[in-house]
Protein backbone atom coordinates (compact mmCIF):
# COMPACT_ATOMS: atom_id res chain seq x y z
CA UNK A 1 0.00 0.00 0.00
CA UNK A 2 0.88 3.64 -0.23
CA UNK A 3 1.02 5.68 2.95
CA UNK A 4 -0.74 9.05 3.06
CA UNK A 5 1.48 11.62 1.37
CA UNK A 6 3.74 8.93 -0.15
CA UNK A 7 4.34 9.10 -3.89
CA UNK A 8 5.18 6.23 -6.19
CA UNK A 9 8.49 6.55 -8.01
CA UNK A 10 7.28 4.65 -11.07
CA UNK A 11 3.98 3.27 -12.35
CA UNK A 12 2.95 -0.19 -11.23
CA UNK A 13 3.51 -2.77 -13.97
CA UNK A 14 0.19 -4.50 -14.59
CA UNK A 15 1.16 -6.21 -17.85
CA UNK A 16 1.30 -9.61 -16.15
CA UNK A 17 -2.10 -9.31 -14.46
CA UNK A 18 -4.99 -11.43 -15.59
CA UNK A 19 -8.62 -10.81 -14.75
CA UNK A 20 -11.49 -13.14 -15.47
CA UNK A 21 -14.70 -11.29 -16.18
CA UNK A 22 -18.00 -13.14 -16.26
CA UNK A 23 -20.75 -10.65 -17.12
CA UNK A 24 -23.53 -13.22 -16.64
CA UNK A 25 -22.34 -13.98 -13.10
CA UNK A 26 -22.22 -10.24 -12.38
CA UNK A 27 -25.73 -9.82 -13.79
CA UNK A 28 -27.08 -12.63 -11.61
CA UNK A 29 -25.50 -10.97 -8.58
CA UNK A 30 -26.94 -7.55 -9.49
CA UNK A 31 -30.39 -9.08 -9.81
CA UNK A 32 -30.07 -11.00 -6.54
CA UNK A 33 -28.94 -7.85 -4.74
CA UNK A 34 -31.82 -5.78 -6.15
CA UNK A 35 -34.34 -8.47 -5.18
CA UNK A 36 -32.89 -8.80 -1.68
CA UNK A 37 -32.74 -5.04 -1.08
CA UNK A 38 -36.42 -4.69 -1.94
CA UNK A 39 -37.27 -7.67 0.27
CA UNK A 40 -35.34 -6.26 3.20
CA UNK A 41 -36.15 -2.55 2.93
CA UNK A 42 -39.50 -2.15 1.15
CA UNK A 43 -41.79 -0.08 3.35
CA UNK A 44 -44.60 -2.65 3.29
CA UNK A 45 -43.52 -5.94 4.90
CA UNK A 46 -46.33 -7.68 2.95
CA UNK A 47 -44.79 -6.39 -0.33
CA UNK A 48 -48.22 -5.05 -1.44
CA UNK A 49 -49.45 -8.65 -1.45
CA UNK A 50 -46.94 -9.68 -4.12
CA UNK A 51 -45.42 -13.16 -3.84
CA UNK A 52 -41.88 -11.81 -3.84
CA UNK A 53 -40.07 -15.18 -4.05
CA UNK A 54 -42.22 -16.04 -7.08
CA UNK A 55 -41.19 -12.74 -8.70
CA UNK A 56 -37.53 -13.65 -8.15
CA UNK A 57 -38.11 -16.90 -10.01
CA UNK A 58 -40.16 -15.33 -12.80
CA UNK A 59 -37.86 -12.41 -13.57
CA UNK A 60 -34.63 -14.15 -12.64
CA UNK A 61 -35.31 -16.65 -15.40
CA UNK A 62 -35.28 -13.81 -17.92
CA UNK A 63 -31.62 -13.10 -17.19
CA UNK A 64 -30.65 -16.12 -19.29
CA UNK A 65 -31.85 -14.19 -22.35
CA UNK A 66 -30.05 -10.96 -21.41
CA UNK A 67 -27.42 -9.85 -23.91
CA UNK A 68 -26.46 -6.47 -22.48
CA UNK A 69 -26.43 -4.68 -19.14
CA UNK A 70 -29.36 -2.64 -20.45
CA UNK A 71 -31.35 -5.88 -20.67
CA UNK A 72 -30.50 -6.62 -17.03
CA UNK A 73 -31.55 -3.12 -15.97
CA UNK A 74 -34.85 -3.60 -17.81
CA UNK A 75 -35.53 -6.92 -16.07
CA UNK A 76 -34.75 -5.40 -12.66
CA UNK A 77 -37.05 -2.48 -13.45
CA UNK A 78 -39.86 -4.84 -14.37
CA UNK A 79 -39.28 -6.83 -11.17
CA UNK A 80 -39.57 -3.72 -9.02
CA UNK A 81 -42.60 -2.50 -11.01
CA UNK A 82 -44.49 -5.56 -9.73
CA UNK A 83 -44.70 -3.77 -6.38
CA UNK A 84 -46.81 -0.94 -7.88
CA UNK A 85 -45.17 1.58 -5.58
CA UNK A 86 -44.39 4.55 -7.81
User: 37: number of CA atoms within 13 Å, CB side?
Assistant: 9
Q: What share of the chain is helix, strand, coil (3-state, %, to 5)?
A: 55, 0, 45
If one compares 34 and 13, the residue with the highest pLDDT of the two is 34
What was the pLDDT predicted at 86? 66
Burial class (CB in 10 A: 0-12, 13-18, 19+), 27: buried
The pTM for the full model equals 0.78
User: For the domain 23-81, what is the CATH code?
Assistant: 3.30.750
Residue ranges of domains in the chain: 23-81
Is pLDDT at 85 greater than 90 in this prediction? no
Q: Are 62 and 24 in contact (CB under 8 A)?
A: no
pLDDT in tens, 56-72: 999 999 999 999 999 99
Of 9-13, 21-25, 33-37, 54-58, the least confident: 9-13
Amino acid sequence: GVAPGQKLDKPLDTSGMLATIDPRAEWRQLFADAWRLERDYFYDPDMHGVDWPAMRDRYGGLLEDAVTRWDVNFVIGELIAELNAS
